Amino acid sequence: MPATDFDAEREYDDDQFSAQSVFNSDHLKAVCGYFEPGQFIPVHAPDSDVVVHVRSGTGVVREGDTDHEVAPGDVVAVPAGVDRGVKADEGGRLEALLVTAPPPTDAEHDPVREGLCRGVFDPHGVDAAADETAD
């Protein structure tokens, strides 16, 4: 069984959140997520369950139509097929363990890539409408 810790895996990226894979199988994927202030995983709805456990920092975890404000120790579970996203507050870094089962497919991550490319948390929601207005 692999063993690690957040300190050993810690890697930040100035351009977008960093996901350091710590375990991956056909049934489950676990990553340590590192977010600079304001960075995010765009809202998407893959056919997998996800559990987000916040280790440090504060932010928001989207579950369907609900934004959960999160802090260290908080856990948010989102069922398969439900919109989800993670965003660090502007005031500091966020670190979280994200466990998905089964791992999302590459195609299911297209909205994530789209949101990162456009710089919007919710590629199909309010963020997207504001982004299009700015064009």
43 in a structural domain: yes
DSSP state of 104: P
Average pLDDT, integer, range 92-105? 96
Between CA 127 and CA 49 the distance in angstroms is 24
Max distance between CA atoms of the chain, in angstroms, equals 49
Residue type, 51: V
99 in a structural domain: yes
Residue 133: is its pLDDT beyond 80? no
Nearest CA-CA partner of 51 in 73, 79, 24, 25:
79
4 in a structural domain: no
Q: Are 43 and 83 in contact (CB under 8 A)?
A: yes
Q: What is the mean pLDDT of the chain?
A: 91
Residue 60: is its pLDDT beyond 90? yes
- Selected residue with higher pLDDT from 107 and 135: 107
User: How much of the chain, in percent, has pLDDT values that exceed 90?
Assistant: 77
1 in a structural domain: no
CATH number for position 33: 2.60.120.10
84 in a structural domain: yes
Q: How confident is the model at residue 95 (pLDDT cuts 50, 70, 90)?
A: very high
pLDDT of residue 90: 97
Nearest CA-CA partner of 70 in 102, 43, 97, 49:
97
Which residue range is the domain that position 124 belongs to? 11-134
The number of folded domains in the chain is 1
- 14-46 confidence digits (pLDDT tens): 999 999 999 999 999 999 999 999 999 999 999
